[in-house]
Amino acid sequence: MSLSLEIVDNLCGFSLAKYSTWFYYKPDNLLLDVGEGVSVTMRNMIFGINTVLISHGHADHISGLPGLLSSRASSMGDTEKAINIYYPKADRNIAKIYRYIKETIGKVPYEIVWKEISPGDRLPLSGNRYLEAFASKHIDNTLSLGYKIAEERNRLKACYRDIPQKELIQIIQSKGKKEITETYTQNLLCFSGDSMPLDQETVQSSEVLLHDATFLKLEDREENTHATVEEVIQLAKASNVSALCLFHLSARYRYQEIIEGIQQYLAKYEMKIPVFLLYSFYSPLSFKKIQ
Ligand SMILES: [Zn+2]
Ligand SMILES: [Zn+2]
């Protein structure tokens, strides 16, 4: 299985615009957003979550937090395992839910670490991987974030790629391995949160782009707060991603209408990469492969 398909295979969640959005990414024990229904759906798998990454403070992305934290204190599992909650700096709704949780859930047997996060902040993950926050484009005058998991890798410098093995060994012996190699960053998973289309530079060559695709038709968008399916397909094509996952579709569309709409744009832009949809009206937990 290719790396991009493996990443999609490890993602599960729920997403429907205005109702709830959350994704669990098992390899790094991350929850991306925490909309309603996380603990009800995941049950004792919630103990696998080490880190919650919140994109912004709209209710459909944070309302599962009280249930998650309360279930982790009392259901079957490691009730002493700490949880980290990262959220956009100075988000007023998160400050309110923080106070609500403090007052209603009170003392829990585990540590809750709340941390504000800003664009460019990085968190180390295992191996050579790290997580980086970036600014998304959702609410005027309020910071909203997207997150990407990236990996530092080494490769042979372009100028040495056609040189025979024997000569390379001689160069390594005389000048050291650093002479012939360079480090580069590979984006693995890029999550937009709720957003207008992200910049091409942010998502460039990601293995998987997980992007807001609220609208099928541009005329349905009243404010510049969410992306259209067409915009995201154009972005995925221009930035050379390996697989695309669409989420946050509006419940105004019928399922068949969505599938046909997506297929029409895939044909228009001659997209050949795997494309997935999470439209939780009908398939609540896993992405459906469209192409
Ligand atoms: Zn939303
Ligand atoms: Zn929102």
Overall size of the chain counted in residues: 291
SS3 of residue 2 by DSSP: coil
CB 31 within 8 A of CB 24: yes
Domains of the chain: 3-150+185-289 (3.60.15.10)
Per-residue tokens: 132: 């980086």
pLDDT band with cut points at 50, 70 and 90 for residue 286: low
DSSP 159: G
Angle CA(8)–CA(117)–CA(16) in degrees, nearest 5?
40
More confident position, 33 or 290? 33
Q: What residue type is 48 in one-letter code?
A: G
Angle between helices 255-268 and 229-238 (to 10 degrees): 40
State the distance from the centre of ligand 2 to the C-alpha of 185, rounded, in angstroms: 29
- For residue 266, the model assigns a pLDDT of 97
Instruction: Give the span between the Cα atoms of 147 and 202, in whole angstroms.
Output: 10
Indicate whether 288 pLDDT > 80: no
pLDDT one-digit tens code per residue, 202-230: 999 999 999 999 999 999 999 999 999 99
Can you tell me whether residue 62 is helix, strand or coil?
helix
DSSP-assigned beta bridge partners for residue 153: 184
Residue 225: nearest ligand to its CA? Answer: 2
- Read off the tokens for 80: 């002493």
**In the block, which residue shows the tokens 């494309």?**
275
Kindly report the average pLDDT of the chain as a whole number.
Answer: 94
- The number of the ligand nearest the C-alpha atom of 60 reads 1
Kindly state the DSSP code that residue 215 receives in the 8-state scheme: B
Using CA atoms, how far residue 47 sits from 52, 65, 70, 73, 125, in Å, is 12, 14, 12, 10, 18
Greater model confidence, 21 or 279: 21
Out of 58-72, 114-128, 147-161, 270-284, pick the least confident. 270-284
The first and second tokens of residue 210, run together, are 């997980």
Instruction: Kindly give the distance from the C-alpha atom of residue 60 to the centroid of ligand 1, in angstroms, as a whole number.
Output: 5
| Pairwise CA distance, residues 246 & 271, whole Å | 14
- pLDDT tens sequence across 145-200: 999 999 999 999 998 888 888 988 998 999 988 889 999 999 999 999 999 999 99
SS3 state at 88:
strand
Q: Across residues 2-9, what is the average pLDDT? A: 96
Which range has the worst mean pLDDT, 22-31, 99-108, 128-137, 205-214? 99-108
- Cα(228) to centroid(ligand 1), Å: 14
The alpha-helical segments, DSSP class H, found in 127-185 are: 165-175
The span from the CA of 12 to the CA of 30, in Å, is 11
Q: Are 48 and 283 in contact (CB under 8 A)?
A: no
Nearest ligand to residue 214 Cα: 1
Q: What number of other Cβ atoms are within 10 A of residue 162's Cβ?
A: 7
Helices marked H in 212-275 — which ranges?
229-238, 255-268
User: Closest Cα partner for 13 from 209, 274, 284?
Assistant: 284
Q: How far is the CA of 59 from the centre of ligand 2 (A)?
A: 8
Q: How many other β-carbons are positioned within 10 Å of the β-carbon of residue 103?
A: 8
Number of H-type helices and E-type strands within the chain = 9, 14
Termini Cα distance of the chain: 16
CA 127 to ligand 2 centroid distance, Å: 32
Instruction: Specify the pLDDT at position 285.
Output: 62
pLDDT score for 161: 87
Would you give the DSSP letter of residue 213? -
Q: Quote the CA–CA distance of 127 and 140 in Å, as a whole number.
A: 37
- Model confidence at 282: pLDDT above 80: no
Q: Find the ligand nearest to 16 CA.
A: 1
